[in-house]
Each structure stands twice: as C-alpha cells, then as structure tokens.
Amino acid sequence: MKKSWNARKLFEQGYNCAQAVFCAFCEDEGIDLKTGLKLSSSFGGGMGRLREVCGAVSGMFMAAGIKYGYDSVDDKQAKASHYKLIQELAEKFKEQNGSIICRDLLGLNKQKDGYVPEDRTKEYYKKRPCVELVECAAGILEEYIEECKNKKKQG
C-alpha cells in the first residue's frame, strides 16, 4: 500500500498531520502504531497548534530520522548527511507548496490558534489543505526511499 495513501487515510480518521505521516512509515521500521502516535502527537498543527513548521513536514522528518538518522555524536559526516537530507526534503515540500510553515500554508495571519483543535467536519476538509499536505509529505519521503532502493539495486 502506498505510504501517501496510508497517511491520507490516517489523517481522515482523525489523527493529526504529523501522526498521519509518521505512522504511515512506522510499521516498516518496527515501531508499533500506539508508540508512533504518541511520539508524533505533539507536532500536529505546526507543533501543538503554534502554527510553526507544518506537522506533515515534521512527521516526514521524524520518519526520515527513524529510517536514515544518525546515532553517534562522533559521526559528524552522518550528522551532516542527515541534515542535508532533511533540507532537501524540506525544499521539495516547499517547491510544491510554497512554504513549510503551517500558518503560511493555511493562510493564517496570526501565529497560533489556541490549543483546542477544530472538529473534523466536511467544512473543515473543504477549507483546509491539510489532507493534501499530508499526502504530499508522505509521497516525498516515499519517493526518496524508492530512489534509494533503486540505487542500491543498481550497484
């Protein structure tokens, strides 16, 4: 099943943008759904509805970290390589959507909306591009993973 479709379905079930993207990749990395949901729960709405970095982007970064991240403070090359990847993923998202900042993507002129999330109604889905952003972020990472697999196969 495509990760972008899976992320979309998770969002449509009511999970936040970060949870939807991150958890679309969790099973492949040996992370159970409940743990993945809890780990990514703080990043929805641009980090707890602060409208900062888009939750879908944060979820994409978290999934990239689980798959390709570094774990040694002494491995400066691995750290630099990982940051390069994160910047490339961010740039690709920005190219497709104009920004990685939640409030910009939603066209909001205030920094935060309060801490109470809106109900997910038909009107919500009509006025918010979030479901498409979730699908986009998961698709960007999915494409990168496929490129890596193909490079490995080639040699």
Name residues whose C-beta falls within 8 Å of residue 24's C-beta, 6 or more positions apart in sequence: 3, 4, 6, 7, 10, 63, 138
- pLDDT value of position 119: 85
- Per the CB < 8 A criterion, the answer to whether 22 and 63 are in contact is yes
Per the structure, the complete domain to which residue 134 belongs is given by 3-154
Domain count, the chain: 1
Phi-psi region for residue 39, left (φ > 0), alpha (ψ -120 to 50) or beta?
alpha
Q: How many CA atoms, within 13 angstroms, populate the side-chain half-sphere of residue 83?
A: 6
Give the pTM.
0.94
**DSSP-assigned beta bridge partners for residue 101:** 53
DSSP, collapsed to helix, strand or coil, labels residue 53 as: strand
- Mean pLDDT value across the chain: 94
Q: What is the pLDDT of residues 58-117, one digit of tens each?
A: 999 999 999 999 999 999 999 999 999 999 999 999 999 999 999 999 999 876 678 888
Would you say residue 155 has pLDDT above 70? no
Q: How far is CA 136 from the centre of its chain?
A: 9
